[in-house]
Each structure stands twice: as structure tokens, then as C-alpha cells.
Chain A
């Protein structure tokens, strides 16, 4: 990784050569200053990341640089760009119905004056640069029928094919899995450097845009400032408490599968999201389940709570087998094990006040607490998660995301549980809110001696707060070990790729994950794995120990 430079803000004597330069660029919406006197300078072949939270004016700044109209916004100061410029707008949407090839021909033809076949030849070269294999190029299809990763790759390729002097990308590849996103961004950045294009990647701080960039700026309260350097290496994981208790929860042979209609020959087909998985949660530990979309981590988290029950296999909580539990037992287990949901606001009943929902939990899970003491408990729990007590009278729709997340935590803490199963509990939060909610969650864990199961796609963040981790890939565990082992000695190519992506580096995986409906034989990673050999197609690798408490499911984990 190149060290962060501040060249982009430093005024340079030969300004004329810079394809992008602004002087005291100011954007006003009414009397609100969105961007305050920004001085930007970007040389040919330089890649700049521009980060900022929601509503900081990134999109407006990019539109100003692209020379597009800014309805309702006044522009002062100067923004100058030299040569052809292209803006890849937020969301990555093209005309939904028109086949991608025709849209590419439109754009390339418009800028370069090429006929359709020449334009498409250029597009094919650009797709090569983005690493899209020819077999995957279904560009006779309209964009809405392409997978997201392919759509983004095609958009970047479109930019490459036009070959502008300035390429502006707004929230590029947002929403893709980190390993896929970082691969595409690095490829785009490489192309920009080699073809002397000035590239600006704008997005939220948590999108990992700083990794591929040469210069890093952030928007803070209207000012464009150099991004503070990432502390590297990251602080050692916080292992203040070393759990060494008995297993409180175990899962054996957990499988989740769903009927998928009937196949061409009339046989009933099932989609298996979690393949016969074993898991053990030790008293007081934090176990993180790492995985990207399609890994089955959310499914697994719900199966552990019997919401719904797994298709086969069993979950045992402190000696109680949930598969055989009657209603009373299940309720007893629910009192001990509570969930956090990926969308906290959506997990609150919109027709009930916060207080009523918290009270309802006590009513059904803690009948031992007398009714007149319930309000007191609601107030205490709200305070414990940092919410004012009048939150109890509010309706869920009036809560901001962080407040909703805290209410979700408060609800989970109401019955005094011993464990929380959290499914991406921070997914809807902005970067600042995330940090605060992590604090809340960890404080609750430490004060109440909770065991935690936590799913996340952010490898680094998850491992920093965990004791142990399982890495999931298409419903199977591919690596298991202590957080330390995984952070510093990850063996599986997939774990390594997730960590690279989390650090902003280029993951060593190529191509896109296969569809869950057409999983390859053998190792499910083999189409993307840099180490894959022919044997990988023949047998599904099983977990084998590589160190104390550390196991890897890869045939070639020990070959470099």
C-alpha cells in the first residue's frame, strides 16, 4: 500500500497540466454550505479517494466536476477539468430494459464516433482489462438481468473503453461483497495509472475506497481534508477476557435447505444454504461467523435460534435439545438466547411503542418479574444502552438508525440473557454510528458476561472484537480458529482474500462467486482460487487441524 500523500491538496506551480483542479470551490444549498472552499488538484494517472458520510456532498462535488447541472445548488469558485470526463453515477444503474451491448455502443459511439462493431470491440478489450471472462459476457441481456458484480464490471469497462481524461466514480461497486468490490476497484485504479487517467473514487468511509487510491481525502463538515492515515498495523485484538468455560451452545450436523420446485425430470429440488455444520459456543466467548453474501451465515444464525428450526441436525443450549423442546422449554431457552437483527428498525413492530415492545418481552419471557416492576426495568435497560428514558414512549418510525439499533439491543437484554446471536447487527449503520454501537455491544457483553455469536462480512472488524471465528463459504466452514490465528496466520485462500479486502488490498481471488443454484463440484472456491488444481474439482475439502484450535478446509493450504 502506498503511504497516503497529500499531493492532491498541495497547490502546484504547473497547474495547467492537471486534468482536475478546483479553486475555492463552494457549493451552497440555500444558505447551507455543503462544500466550503475546496482546493483539489489531481494529476493524470493519479487515483484519489474522496470519502464522507451520507449527505456530505460527495455526489454534488462530483457532478460539479463533471459539469452537470446542480438543481437547487449555487456554485462559487472554480472547478476546471481538462479533456473528456465521465461520471459513473451512484447505484450503477443503466436503462433497465435495453441490452447492455447496445447501451455500450451508444456511449462509446457518442464519445469516440465509432460504429457499433468497433465500439463493441473496444468494449471487449476493456472487459479483458476488468478480468471478465468471455463466458460470463451475457451482454445481449438487459442490465437488470445481470448479476450486480457483472453490471459494475461492465460499467467500469465502459469507462475504460471510452478512455476519458477524467473518470469520476460515485459510490463505485457499493453493495458488492468486499472481495469482489476490491478486486474491481484495484483493476480500475491500475488501468487509470497506466493510461494516465485521473480517477476519483467517492464513497462512504467504510467502502474501502482508500485501498486502491494514491491520495486520500475526506469530506468533513463541508471541508475537504486529508484522510487521517490508517493505523497500520492495526492494534492487536482486544482479548481482555479469556473465556475458558464449558460449551453453552452446540450445534451438530446443522443443515438448512429449501424446496426449489421440481427439476426438469420431475424430481424435487432443494437449495442447501448450510451444509451439515458443527459449532460450539463456549461460555463468555465471542464467536464471529465471517462470510459474504450466500455464505449461509444469516441462515445459520437463525437456525441456532430455531427461527426457523434447521432442516436437519440439532441445537443444544445448556443441555436442552431445541429440536425436542416443548413450548415451555423453548421459551426458557429464548430467555437465555436472544437475537439482534440486521435491520433493527425493521425488527420493531411499527404499531407498538418502544416501551410496549420491551414490556412484552418481559411479560412472556420473565413471568417471575411482577408487572409493577416492569416499567422500572424498561427504563434501566434503555439507560444501559445509552438511550434516554423517554424513548419508551416513542414509535419505532421516529427512531434514527443508531437509536433503533440500541432499542434492538435493549430488547435483547430485557430478559437478562446469557448469549446473544447477532446477525450483521451493524449493517444499517454509518461509520460513526458503527463505532458507537460496537461500544454499546461490547460494554453489554463485558458487564453481563454474555456469550456472543456475531455474523459479519467485515473480516478485520469482526476478528478484532472476537475470540474465535468460523469462516463460511457457501454454507460450509472453510477455516476455524482463534481470532489471533486468523488475523495473522490465515491459511485458507478465501480467508486471506477477505482479510486483504478488509485492509484495502487487492484480494487474490478472480471472477465472481458461483450462483447458489449451480455450485461447482469439489471445492466451491475453485473457480476463483489462485491455488486451485485439478484435484480441487474432485473432492470437497474437509476441515483438517493445522494447529491448536485451528483447522482449514483446503487441499493445498500448506503449498505456498
Chain B
């Protein structure tokens, strides 16, 4: 990843790694106060954080990426197979919140399906719908914009126009809306972990909440906030990089 992206990640540290570290420290302190191994508690929290990150990040990135492409495709004038996928995603978006898909996944797992692919799919699909919903109008707008007529007038070919003008325009709102998609994905992940009994942050939080333990849930909550920040930062870094690749790259 280019240096600017790394620098941007460093700039976001206070909202990302800091809350996670604070959560771990709190978990350590709480465990130590009741005479348990603080190190184990902190390590447990970090492991749960890593697990949730591994659950959410790939699903989110893949979902948003494919959804954005499908949405952009749906914005292209002649209707095609890819375009219909985008349209379907856009129409289905509000019908498919992550937690409902999580419940369906749980049902399937109970009847013997593999957990990991289903869990990822349950998180990726809402992200894809969200991205498609944002990408399509942006693509349509780009295709009727003054900039497109200018590119035509200057004699640029369709490929260049699509790659340097239309696609970046369609992707921009998706990276802008990535933070929202990440928040929904975290909520969905909590449902997935809780229903499938996976050892993630969400399950940690809900289990602690069920027994009414503030000292158990607070570290998990802090880590979740940090994770949300981390995903947001990841999204904007990736968005910037993508802009450079499609917009500025050659």
C-alpha cells in the first residue's frame, strides 16, 4: 500500500487501535481486581477482536467491492446480466439486514452446513446491497455529466472514459458510505457470533450483557468501537488507493 495510505492509517490511531488497547487494558485490570489472570483476560479480548476483524473485514471488502461493481454495471445504459445483478441487489437491500441473514445462516448450520462460508456470506450480502445502491446513481450521473461530454468531444475512447471517469465516480460514494456499511456489518457480526456461538467480540459483549456484567461488557464495547474506527480507516485508505489506481493510474 502506498505511503500516504499508511500515513492516513497512522492519523486514525486514536480512533482505532487506542480504544482496542484501552479495552484490553480494562479487561486486564478487571480480571486482576477479582484475582484472575489479567494477561489471559487481555489476551482473550484481543483474540476475540482479531476473530471479529477476520470475520467482518473480508466479507465487507468483498461485498462492497462486488456490490459496487454490480451497481456501477446496473448504471450502464444497455441492460445486461451484470446490470440485473446490480438491480437485484439494490431492490433486495432493505429486505436483507445482516442479522436476518445471520439467523438464516444459523438455521442452515443447525441442519449441517459449514459455518464459515455462511457467516461470511451473511455479512457480505448486505454490504454488497449497500454498495450497489450507492454506486448505481453515481454511475448514471457520471454517464450524463458534462465531463463525459467533454471526454467524448476530446475524442477519448470508451475504455478510457469508463476507467478514468465513470468508474471512479461510481466508486466514490461507496468509499464514502463504507463507514455505515462497516457499522451494519459489526451489528450483523454480533448476531452471527451470538447465534453460531463463535468466539468473537460481539458474542463476548452479548454474553456479558446477558449476565448483566458491566465490567465484562465494557472492554468488549471499547474494542468494538475501536474496530469500527479501524474498519472505517481501512475503507478510506482503500478508497484513496482505489481512486489513485482508477483515476490517476495509467
Residue numbers of A with Cβ under 8 A of B are 63, 66, 68, 86-99, 102-103, 106-107, 110-111, 116, 142, 155, 158, 162, 168, 170
Contacts and interface: CB of A to CB of B under 8 A. Distances in A.
A94 B150 contact: yes
Contact of A86 (B147, B153, B165, B247): B153
Interface string B207-223: 00000000000000000
Contact of A87 (B154, B243, B247): B154
Given A96-B147, A97-B248, A98-B247, A89 B164 contact: no
Contact of B154 (A86, A98, A170): A86
Contacts of A96: 147, 169
B145 A93 contact: yes
A95 B165 contact: yes
Contacts of B154: 86-88, 107, 158, 162
Question: Which of the four size classes fits the interface of chain B?
Answer: 20 to 34
A534 to B, nearest CB: 42
Interface stretch (B54-62, B66-74, B84-92, B155-163): B155-163
Given A89-B146, A91-B146, A93-B146, A107 B156 contact: yes
A554 to B, nearest CB: 40
Contact of A90 (B146, B165, B172): B146
A158 to B, nearest CB: 7
In this complex, the member of A98, A102, A158 whose beta carbon has the largest number of chain B beta carbons within 10 angstroms is A98
B247 A95 contact: yes
A99 B154 CA distance: 16
B153 A87 contact: yes
Contact of B247 (A90, A93, A97, A155): A97
Contacts of A99: 248
A97 B150 CA distance: 15
Given A89-B146, A98-B168, 11 more contacts: A86-B155, A89-B149, A89-B152, A89-B153, A90-B149, A92-B146, A93-B147, A96-B169, A99-B248, A102-B250, A107-B154
Contacts of B169: 96-97
A94 B147 contact: yes
B250 A93 contact: no
A291 B156 CA distance: 39
Contact of A110 (B145, B155, B243, B247): B155
A126 to B, nearest CB: 14
B95 interface: no
Contacts of A110: 155-157, 160
24 contacts: A68-B153, A86-B154, A87-B152, A88-B154, A89-B146, A89-B150, A89-B153, A90-B146, A91-B149, A92-B150, A94-B151, A95-B147, A95-B151, A95-B168, A98-B165, A98-B247, A102-B248, A103-B164, A106-B156, A106-B164, A107-B155, A116-B250, A155-B150, A162-B154
Contacts of A102: 248, 250
Interface in B139-186: 145-147, 149-157, 160, 164-165, 168-169, 172
A176 to B, nearest CB: 16
B153 A168 contact: yes
Interface string B191-217: 000000000000000000000000000
Given A99-B248, A102-B248, A88 B153 contact: yes
B158 to A, nearest CB: 12
Nearest to B243: A97
Nearest to B147: A93
A98 B150 contact: no
A116 B248 CA distance: 13
B206 to A, nearest CB: 42
Contacts of A106: 156, 160, 164
Contacts of A87: 152-154
A142 B164 CA distance: 12
B168 A97 contact: yes
Contacts of A142: 247
Contacts of B147: 91, 93-96
A111 B157 CA distance: 11
Task: Name the 3 nearest CB pairs between A and B, nearest first.
Answer: A87-B153, A91-B146, A89-B149
A454 to B, nearest CB: 32
A68 B248 contact: no
B104 to A, nearest CB: 39
Contacts of B151: 94-95
B110 to A, nearest CB: 48
Contacts of A158: 154
Interface in B226-247: 243, 247
A111 B160 CA distance: 13
A88 B155 CA distance: 10
A104 to B, nearest CB: 10
Interface in B25-45: none
Given A89-B146, A106-B164, A97 B172 contact: yes
A93 B150 contact: yes
Contacts of B155: 86, 107, 110-111
A454 B239 CA distance: 48
B179 to A, nearest CB: 20
Nearest to A102: B248
